[in-house]
Amino acid sequence: MSQDILPPRIRRWLFTTNHKEVGILYLVTALFFFVAAGLLALTMRTQLSVPDNHVLTETLYNQFVTVHGLLMIFWVLSPFAFGFANYIIPLQIGARDLAFPRLNAMSYWFYLFSGVAIIMSFIFGAPDLGWTLYSPQTAIQFSPSIGLNVGAAALILITVSITMSSVNFLVTMFKMRAPGMKLRHMPVFPWAILVTIFMMLYAFPSFLAAVLLLYVDRAFGTFYFSSIQGGALLWDNVFWFFGHPEVYIVLFPAIGLIADVIPTFTRRPLYGAKYVIGSMIAAAIISFIVWGHHMFVTGIGLTSTKLYTVTTIAVSLPFDVMVIAMIETLIKARIKLKAAALFALGAIALFVIGGITGVYLASVALDHALRGTYFVVAHFHYIMVGGSIMGLIAGLYYWFPKFTGRMYNETVAKIHFVVSFIGFNILYFPMFLLLDMPRRIQTYAPDTGWGSLNSLATLGGFIFGGAQVLLFLNLFLSQRKGLPSGPNPWDGWTLEWSLPSPPPAHDFDTIPTIAEDGTYHFGDSPGLPNGAGYPNGSKIGNGYSHSHLEGLSAWPIVVAFAAFIFFLGLTIGQPNNPTTPVTFQPFWPLIADGAILGVIALYGYSRERFSVHEETRTESWPFREVPNVKLGIWTFLGAEVIFFGVLIGAYFFVRTNSPTWPEIGSLFDIRNGFAMTLVLLTSSLTAIMALVSAKIGSRNGLISSLLATFGLGVAFLYIKSTEWVYLGTHGVFSVASGLPATSYFITTGTHGVHVFAGMLMTLYLLVNSLKGRYLKGDHQAIEHFGLYWHFVDIVWVFLFPLFYLI
Amino acid sequence: MNTTYLYLLVFAILVGSTDIEVNIVALYPSASTGVAMLFGTIALSYGVIVSILLGLAGMKALLIALFYQHLKYEPRSLSSWVLIGLVIASLLMSLVFIQLHVH
Ligand code: HEM
Ligand SMILES: [Cu+2]
C-alpha cells in the first residue's frame, strides 16, 4: 500500500508505531472522550438539579447515564492510563519501544473505532439500562433498540484492543528491561501497569464472553439471559467476575503514578515500596474471587454470601498498606507543592474516603439498605474520579514537560487544583447524604426532600467541569508557548528524566545499565534508590537521528477499520423494533467489505517487512529462554482459556438450572462428534509433523503436512456444518429452540470460528512455504501456529464429551 | 526416543482414549439421565461416568499441551504462567458451583 500520497504530518500520526506517538494519541483521545462523557454528566446533573424537572426525557436520561458510565470506565480511565504507559514505560524500563509496535498501533485504532461505535449508538437509540447492562432488561423484548447491539459491538472492539495491549505490555515488561533492571528495580508505575494488565488479561475475556452471549441472544434469539435458567444470575456472575477486577484496573495505574510522583516531590523514596507492590499483587489476585459482593441481594445463598464477605474484607487490607505507605512517605516530609503533587495528595485523600465507604457496602446488612442508592454513586465516584482521574491529572502535569519540552503555567494549574477539589466535594459529598435516593432515576417529587442536596451537587458539577477548562487551556497554550523545561524539571529519579524533552524518536542513544543495587547515577546526582537508572556518566544527546517517519505502517489502522465496519454490519441491519421470534438480519454489504478488507489488511500486515530491533542484553527474568512472540502467544492463550471457560461455565450454569435436558444421543449423533474429534486430533498430528519437517528442512514434508492440516480443518467444518444444517432443518432444534440448542450452537460455533481462523493461518503459511520459507532455523512461524492450533484442539477435547456424551 | 515416534504414540493414546469415551456412554444407567442429578447423590453411576469422561478429557488436554505444544520442554516459568489462566477459570467455576449447590 502506498503511504506516500499523504503529507508527512498526517502520515506520522495515522501510521505511527512509535510508542511515544501512540501514547500521545491515546492521551488526546481519552481526554476527548472525557469531555464527551463529562458533558453527558453535566446534562444529567442539570436534569436532577430540581425536583420534577424535564430537561431530559426519561429515555434520553437513561441513555445518558449508561453511555456516560461506559465511556468513562472503558474509553477514558484505562486509555488515559495506557497513554502514559505507552509513552513512559519503555523509557522507565530502558527499552526502545514495546515488544510489538504495530500491534500497539492496532490496539489504539481498535480503541478509537470502538469509541466511534459507542457514540454512533446514539443514532440508533443508545443503550439505556446502566453500564452494568443487567439482564433481563437487555433482552430484546425490553430493549428493542439496536443501539444496544451497536454498543455491544463497541464493547467487543475495545475488549480486543485491551487484550492486544495486555499481551504487548506483558511481553515488553517481562522481556525488554535494560541490563541490570531486575523486576524489583522497576519503579512503582510500571509495576502498577504490570498488575493492571495482568487483571485485564484474565478479566476481559469474561466480559467478552458475556457481551458475545448478550449479542447472540439479541441477534439470533437465543436464551442465555432471557431464560430463567440463565437469566439475571448468569449475567451477574460473568459480568461481575469481570467487573470487580475492572474497578481495580481503573484504579491501579493512578496509584502507581501517585507513588512515583510523591517521592519526586518529597525527595524521599516511597516508604515500603516493596510492600506497596506486594499489596497490589495480592489485591489483584484476590480481586477475582470477590465479585459476589455485587450479588448479596440476589439470593445466592448464605454460604456464598459469607464467603464473599470474607474475601471482600480480605481484599481491602492491601489497600490499607498502600495508603499507609503513602502517608508514611508524607509524614514530616517537606513536599514541594507543584500541581502534580497537589493532585496526587488530593487523590489520596479522596480515595481514602471512597475506600472506607466501600467497606460499609461490603457489610451485607448495610448493603441491603444502601445498594442501588446515591451512597453507592458517591462511593465509586470518590474512587474513580477522586482517586483515578485526579491521580491521572497529576500524571498529566508531571509528564507534560517530558512530552513537550515546555512548562505549563504553574499558577493556573494550582487554581485548577483548588477549584477541582472544592467542586468535586460539593458535587459528590451530598450524594453520601442522599442515601435514600435511588440511583439512575430521571426525576423525583418535591416532597422527597432531595431537592437541596441535588442542587448543591449540580452546582459542584459545574464548578468541577468548569475547572477542567483551565486544564485544557493551560496545556494547549503551554505546548506552544511555554518556557523550555529542560530534560528534568522536577529532579525526577526515574529513567525517563535522563532523556531530552521530548525524547528523540529512538529514545536512548545507548541503553542504560542499572547498578547491582538498583541505583543509577545521573550527572552529579547521588545514587538514588528504587527506580530506573541513569547510565553511569552517560552523555545525553542525539548521537544518531532516527526520524519520526521511520517505522510507519498503514496496516494497523486498516485492520482496525475493517473490524469496525464488519461489526457495524453485524449490528445495524437488525430492524429497530424486532418482531419475535428474532431473526438475524445483518447488513451484508458492510460485513462483506469488512471481511475482505480485513483479510487483505492482515495479509499485508504479515507480509510487511517490519523488524523490531531486539536488544541482546536485556533483563528478562523469569522468561529468559522464551522468545518474545512465543511468550505473547502463550499469554494470549491464557486469556482464551478464560474466554472458553466462561462459555463452558455458562453451559453448565443453564444446564444445572434446567429441570430436564435431552437424553444423550437423542439430539446429536455421537458418531458425528466422534468423527470430528478424530479429525481434529489428526490435524494436531499433522500440525506437529509440519514443525518436524520444517526443522529438518524438508520442504515437501512441510507443504504436505500443512495441506493435510488445512484439509482436516475443512473436513471438521464440513461435518460440523452438515450437523448444523441437519439440526436446523429438522425443526426441533434451531438455535432459538431452547437452552440445549442455544448452548450447543453458540459454544461449538465460537469454537468453529477459531478453527476457521486457524485455517486462514495455514493458508498463509502454505503460500509462504511454497516459496521455500520456514525451513531449518526459520521454523518459528510454524511452531507458533501450532501452539494456537493445538489449543483449539484442546478446546474441542472438552466440548466433545460435554455436549455429546453427558 | 525419536520425536516422530513420540508424537505418534501420543496420537495413539489420544485416539484410544476417545474410543473409551464413546464406549463408556453405553454404560449409562438406562433410567432418566436428567442433569438435575449430574452431581446429585441418586445417580451415582452417572456422576462416576461424567467424572471419568472429564478426567479423560483432562488427560488428553494435558498430553497435547505437554507434547504437541511441548510445554514439557519449556522453562518451568512458562508452564506456570500458562497455569494461571486455568487456576483463575477454575476459581470462577468452583465459586459458581458453590452458588448453585450449597445454600
Ligand atoms: C478500590 C477501588 C474501588 C473502585 C474503583 C470501586 C468501584 C465500585 C463501583 C463502580 C461500584 C458500583 C457498581 C455498580 O454500578 O453497581 C462499587 C460498588 C461496591 N463496592 Fe466498590 N470500589 C472500590 C473499592 C471498594 C472496596 C475497597 C470495597 C470494600 C472493601 C468495595 C465494596 C463495594 C461494594 C460492596 C459494592 C456494591 C455496592 C452495591 O451495589 O450495593 N469497593 N464499587
Ligand atoms: Cu466489587
Q: CA–CA distance from A122 to each of A23, A110, A127, A468 (Å)?
A: 28, 19, 8, 25
Per-residue pLDDT at A577: 66
Strand, coil or helix: A177: strand
**What is the position in ligand 1's atom list of the atom closest to the CA of A296?**
41
CA of A240 to the centre of ligand 2 (A): 7
Give CA–CA dist A395/A211, Å, rounded.
32
Question: Is the distance from the beta carbon of residue A314 to the nearest atom of ligand 1 less than 6 Å?
Answer: no
Tens-digit pLDDT profile for residues A393-408: 999 999 999 999 999 9
Buried b (16+ CB within 10 A) or exposed e, A206-219: bbbbbbbbbbbbbb
pLDDT at A524 (0 to 100): 37
Q: A294 in ligand 1 pocket by Cβ < 6 Å?
A: yes
**Ligand 1 near A293 CB (within 6 A):** yes
Distance from the alpha carbon of residue B67 to the mean position of ligand 2, in angstroms: 40
pTM value?
Answer: 0.94
Nearest ligand 1 atom to the CA of A384 is 5
How many residues in total does chain B contain? 103
The pLDDT of residue A729 is: 79
DSSP structure class, residue A373: B
B66 touches chain A (CB under 8 A): no
Amino acid at A21: E
Counting one residue from chain A and one from chain B, the pairs whose CB atoms sit within 8 A come to 166
Query: What ipTM score was computed for the predicted complex, to two decimals?
Result: 0.91
Q: How far apart are CA A301 and CA A315, in angstroms?
A: 21
CB contact under 8 Å between B78 and A665, yes or no, is: no
Measured in angstroms, how far is the CA atom of residue B38 from the centroid of ligand 1? 35
| pLDDT tens-digit map of A723-774 | 888 887 776 566 667 888 889 999 999 999 999 999 999 999 999 999 999 9
Element (H, E) at A401: helix A390-404
Domain A660-806 in CATH: superfamily? Cytochrome c oxidase, subunit III, four-helix bundle (1.20.120.80)
> What is the Cα–Cα distance from A520 to A537, expressed in whole angstroms?
10
- Mean pLDDT, 10 residues at a time, chain A of 806 residues: 70 89 97 98 97 95 97 98 97 89 96 97 92 90 88 97 98 92 92 98 97 91 87 94 96 96 90 93 96 89 90 92 92 92 97 92 88 95 98 98 97 98 98 95 95 97 98 97 93 89 84 77 41 28 40 91 96 71 81 96 87 76 92 97 96 92 82 95 97 95 97 97 84 73 92 97 95 92 97 98 92
What gap in Å lies between CA A634 and CA A636, rounded to an integer? 5
Helical residues (DSSP H) of A250-301, grouped into ranges: 252-266, 273-286
User: Cα dihedral sign for A46, A49, A53, A59?
Assistant: positive
The DSSP string of A68-97 is HHHIIIIIIIHHHHHHHHHHHHHHHHT-SS
Could you identify the residue written with the cell 480443518? A713
Measured from the CA of A367, which atom of ligand 1 is nearest? 41
Q: Which residue has better confidence, A49 or B32?
A: A49
Tell me the three-class secondary structure of A617-629, residue by residue: CCECCCCCCCCHH
Which residue, B54, B57, B56, B60, is CA-closest to B10? Answer: B60
Question: Is the CB of residue A247 less than 8 Å from the CB of residue A208?
Answer: no
What's the pLDDT score for residue A536? 30
Rg (CA), chain A: 27
The span from the CA of A503 to the CA of A507, in Å, is: 5
Q: Return the SS3 of A438.
A: strand
CA-nearest residue for atom 42, ligand 1, is A358
Task: Please report, as a single letter, which amino acid is at residue A467.
Answer: A
Q: Which atom of ligand 1 is nearest to the CA of A355?
A: 27
Q: How far apart are CA A315 and CA A285, in angstroms?
A: 9
| Residue A610 grid cell | 517490519
Quote the percentage of chain B above a pLDDT of 70. 83
Contact residues on chain A for B85, CB-CB shorter than 8 A: 202, 637-642
C-alpha A51/C-alpha A453 separation (Å) is 11
| CATH 1.20.120.80 location in chain A | 660-806
Q: Cα distance from B42 to chain A (closest Cα, Å)?
A: 15
The pLDDT of residue A673: 93
Per-residue pLDDT at A142: 86
Interatomic CA distance for residues A223 and A136, integer angstroms: 11
Secondary structure of residue A646 in the 3-state scheme? helix
Cell 426532600 -> residue: A449
C-alpha cell of residue B60:
488428553
In chain B, residues with a C-beta closer than 8 Å to the C-beta of A806 are 35, 38, 49-50, 53
Q: Confirm or reject: Cβ of A358 under 6 Å from ligand 1.
A: yes
Query: What 3-state class would DSSP assign to A137?
Result: coil
Q: Whose CA is nearest to atom 43 of ligand 1?
A: A380
Pocket test for ligand 1, best of A132, A137, A294, A364 (most atoms within 8 A of CB): A294
Q: What residues does A438 pair with on adjacent strands?
A: A373
User: Rounded to the nearest 5 degrees, what angle is found at the Cα of A260, between the Cα atoms of A288 and A418?
Assistant: 100
